Amino acid sequence: MNKCYLKQMLTYFFKVYHLAEKIKGLKDGRLNLQIETSTISFIVLLTFICRLKSFNRLEHWLKKERFKNLFPKKTRLPHIDTIRRSLSSFDINGLNVLHDHVIKTIFKNKVFRNGTIDGIKVAAIDGVEIFESNKKSCEKCLTRVDKQGITHYFHRAVVCATVGSDPHIVLGYEILEPKKDCSDKDEGEITGGKRLIRKLYKKFHHFADVIVADALYCRASWITEVLAIGMDAVIRVKDERLHIVKDALGLFQSR
Ligand SMILES: [Zn+2]
């Protein structure tokens, strides 16, 4: 990325989103802090901005002192191991607070005043699998055994993001719960989705005019939930469920 452009972008982030102060509030679980958590957080943010694909790449950049000019002169920059230690004990709550602050600022500054599609503010909701691994796991992992008998560990989340014109903003996410003792099923995506839009409404109020979802959400309970927070639901129904489409077309004709 062009250095001048990066500098302009960071200045904008700091001025409009108060990113520097917010990053200073982040914490991790390391005991004797020789390197500030804020320094590490800022480097990780730069890693995302510069789209570095791996920690190996980041290590290379750190060795080449690529980030040096972006910090005050006497700042000690971390080794990759310190970054790993920091991230593995990171206070996720602080990150969520920072994220909420960014979203609130986006709404306050009316970034979406012209809507995202034809003057309408549209958000989409969908389920994703995250942190898939067949080696590492935690007590809250969901599992799946493949044809070779290998157990895969992963988490599932429901994500809500704006769609249409840029910028595409991730408004929030909700991690789905693994099965509880009394049940043999993991939490369903719709249950998580409902929890997510209720949470987003509480935090940001009218965060969208329309919520778009795939055929999985073609349930009365979902539509009622969306209408209850004063938004409209659009659901994409796939061709295999043509009887629903036929029914709808029949009904629309008599309108
Ligand atoms: Zn896990």
Total number of domains in the chain: 2
Picking from 37, 53, 88, the residue at the C-terminal end of a domain is 88
186 shares a domain with 77 = no
Same domain, 131 and 166: yes
Q: What is the per-residue pLDDT for 233?
A: 95
pLDDT score of 183: 59
Per-residue pLDDT reduced to its tens digit, 11-43: 999 999 999 899 999 999 998 888 999 999 999
Task: Tell me the pLDDT tens digit for each residue of 79-106.
Answer: 999 999 999 999 999 999 999 999 999 9
3-state secondary structure the chain: CCHHHHHHHHHHHHHHHCHHHHHHCCCECCCCCCCCHHHHHHHHHHHHHCCCCCHHHHHHHHHCCCCHHHCCCCCCCCCHHHHHHHHHCECHHHHHHHHHHHHHHHHHCCCCCCCCECCECEEEEEEEEEEEECCCCCCCCEEEECCCCCEEEEEEEEEEEECCCCCCCEEEEEECCCCCCCCCCCCCHHHHHHHHHHHHHHHHCCCCCEEEECHHHCCHHHHHHHHHCCCEEEECCCHHHHHHHHHHHHHHHCC
Alpha carbon of 158 to ligand 1 centroid (Å): 16
CA of 245 relative to ligand 1 center, distance in Å: 39
Average pLDDT, the chain: 90
- Confirm whether pTM is higher than 0.75: yes
Report CA(121)–ligand 1 centroid distance (Å).
34
149 CA to centre of ligand 1 in angstroms? 19
- The rounded Å distance from CA 129 to ligand 1 centre is 11
Residue 54 belongs to domain spanning:
3-88
Is 75 in contact with 39 (CB distance < 8 Å)?
A: yes
Q: Which of 10-19, 65-74, 168-177 has the lowest mean pLDDT?
A: 65-74
Instruction: Please indicate, yes or no, whether residues 138 and 24 belong to a single structural domain of this protein.
Output: no
CATH number at residue 197: 3.30.420
Distance 14 CA to ligand 1 centre (A): 34
Q: Which CB contacts under 8 angstroms, 24+ apart, belong to 95-101?
A: 95/26, 97/22, 97/25, 98/22, 98/23, 98/25, 98/26, 99/172, 100/203, 101/17, 101/18, 101/22
Based on the number of CB atoms within 10 Å of its own CB, is 64 exposed (0-12), middle (13-18) or buried (19 or more)?
exposed
Q: How far is the CA of 69 from the centre of ligand 1 (A)?
A: 37
165 and 78 in a single domain? The answer is no
Q: What is the pLDDT of residue 182?
A: 59
pLDDT of residue 122: 97
CA of 200 to the centre of ligand 1 (A): 24
- Top-confidence residue, 248 or 23: 23
pLDDT band at 3 (very low <50, low <70, confident <90, very high): confident
Q: Tell me: do 117 and 218 sit in the same domain.
A: yes
How far apart are the CA of 140 and the centre of ligand 1, in A? 5
| pLDDT for residue 181 is more than 90 | no
> Is 239 domain-assigned?
yes
pLDDT at 161 over 80: yes
Q: How many A from CA of 60 to the centre of ligand 1?
A: 29
Residues 82 and 123 in one domain: no
Ligand 1 centre distance from Cα of residue 131 (Å): 7
The DSSP bridge partners found for residue 159 are 126, 173
Quote the tokens at residue 75. Answer: 């700042």
Write down the pLDDT at residue 241. Answer: 63
Q: Which of 69-73, 110-114, 160-164 has the highest mean pLDDT?
A: 160-164
189 lies in a domain?
yes
Residue 176 alpha carbon to ligand 1 centre in Å? 11
User: In the chain, pLDDT over 90 holds for what percent of residues?
Assistant: 65
CA of 178 to the centre of ligand 1 (A): 10
CA 133 to ligand 1 center in whole angstroms: 9
Å from CA of 142 to ligand 1 middle = 7
Vertex 108 angle, CA 114 and 233, to 5°: 55
Q: Which residues contact 152 (CB under 8 A, 6 or more apart)?
A: 132, 133, 134, 143, 144, 145, 146
**Residues 124 and 223 grouped into a single domain:** yes
pLDDT at 192 over 90: yes
17 Cα–ligand 1 center, Å: 32
Q: 124 or 247: which carries more pLDDT confidence?
A: 124
